[in-house]
Amino acid sequence: MTTQSHTEAIRVPDDAWTSGGSSKQAYVSPWYVATMKHAAFDRRQGSLHEPLIERVASALHSYTPESPTR
């Protein structure tokens, strides 16, 4: 999650938050993947509606190679 609007970033509309939120316009960069540390859950920003999460996950897959077939 970022406040930077990159070309292929996915905008998080205000109504996409199920809890919490952002005082600034928020975006998700699906090409930037990171692991979550336990402390991050103590300072979480909020939760997002499932359709937005599915859209981000789908966009992430366009940046990752397919698994080789056996």
Predicted pLDDT of residue 13: 97
> pLDDT confidence of 67, banded at 50, 70, 90?
low
| Residue 48: Cβ within 10 Å count | 21
State the residue range of the domain holding 20.
10-61
Predicted pLDDT of residue 53: 95
> Total structural domains in the chain?
1
Residue 1 lies in a domain: no
Residue 19 lies in a domain: yes
Q: Give the C-alpha separation, 67 to 35, whole Å.
A: 20
Q: Look at 55 and 66; give whichever has higher pLDDT.
A: 55
> pLDDT confidence of 41, banded at 50, 70, 90?
confident
Asked if residue 11 lies in contact with residue 25, where contact means CB atoms within 8 angstroms, the answer is: yes
| Residue 28: Cβ within 10 Å count | 20
Residue 67 lies in a domain: no
Residue 43 lies in a domain: yes
